[in-house]
């Protein structure tokens, strides 16, 4: 069984800040025991190139029974935004090809996605639209 490093709103925020993004955090949890996995955290970021990311940990994973100490966020989902709208990346990138959301990312994959998005030249959208590739 693979073990992943736990991610928190703060650790995800730090990854995004290191990549040069402006970041906003929202975290919380349902107080009702009947819905213990409702919401964990959300981190929104915008990069200097205008690309945005919304990183969401929708539920907790449990490493031990009865919610002892093992509540962690091993994986997150990432939505890609451009001009405030969901968007895939232009062709030629390893992520977000034909989709606006990458799901179930561990910390290493999240770092790869962040590195990819921060390098995107938004003019590629215009170029690929002109050539019919987008």
Domain layout of the chain by residue ranges:
9-131
Predicted TM-score (pTM) of the model is: 0.80
- The predicted structure's pLDDT at residue 112: 96
- The predicted structure's pLDDT at residue 40: 76
87 pLDDT more than 60: yes
Q: Whole-number mean pLDDT of the chain?
A: 82
119 pLDDT more than 70: yes
55 φ, ψ (degrees, to nearest 5): -100, 125
- The predicted structure's pLDDT at residue 1: 43
- The predicted structure's pLDDT at residue 101: 94
Please state, in angstroms and rounded to a whole number, the distance separating the CA atoms of residues 59 and 62.
10
- The predicted structure's pLDDT at residue 72: 62
Residues 33-54, mean pLDDT to the nearest whole number: 79
- The predicted structure's pLDDT at residue 133: 74
**Per mean pLDDT, which range of 70-79, 82-91, 108-117 is the poorest?**
70-79
Residues 105-133, mean pLDDT to the nearest whole number: 91
- The predicted structure's pLDDT at residue 121: 92
Which of 49-52's residues contact partners 24+ apart within 8 Å by CB, and which partners? 49/118, 49/119, 49/120, 49/121, 49/122, 50/82, 50/83, 50/122, 51/80, 51/81, 51/82, 51/117, 51/118, 51/120, 51/122, 52/80, 52/81, 52/82, 52/84
Please state, in angstroms and rounded to a whole number, the distance separating the CA atoms of residues 126 and 94.
19
């Amino acid at each position: 069984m693979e073990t992943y490093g736990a991610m928190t709103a703060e650790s995800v925020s730090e990854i995004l800040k290191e990549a040069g993004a402006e970041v906003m955090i929202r975290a919380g949890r349902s107080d009702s025991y009947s819905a213990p996995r409702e919401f964990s955290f959300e981190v929104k970021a915008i990069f200097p190139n205008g690309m945005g990311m919304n990183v969401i940990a929708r539920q907790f994973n449990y490493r031990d029974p009865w919610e002892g100490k093992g509540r962690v966020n091993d994986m997150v989902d990432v939505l890609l935004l451009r001009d405030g709208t969901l968007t895939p990346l232009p062709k030629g990138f390893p992520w977000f090809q034909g989709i606006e959301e990458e799901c179930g990312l561990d910390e290493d994959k999240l770092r790869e996605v962040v590195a990819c998005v921060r390098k995107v030249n938004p003019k590629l959208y215009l170029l690929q639209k002109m050539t019919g590739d987008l």
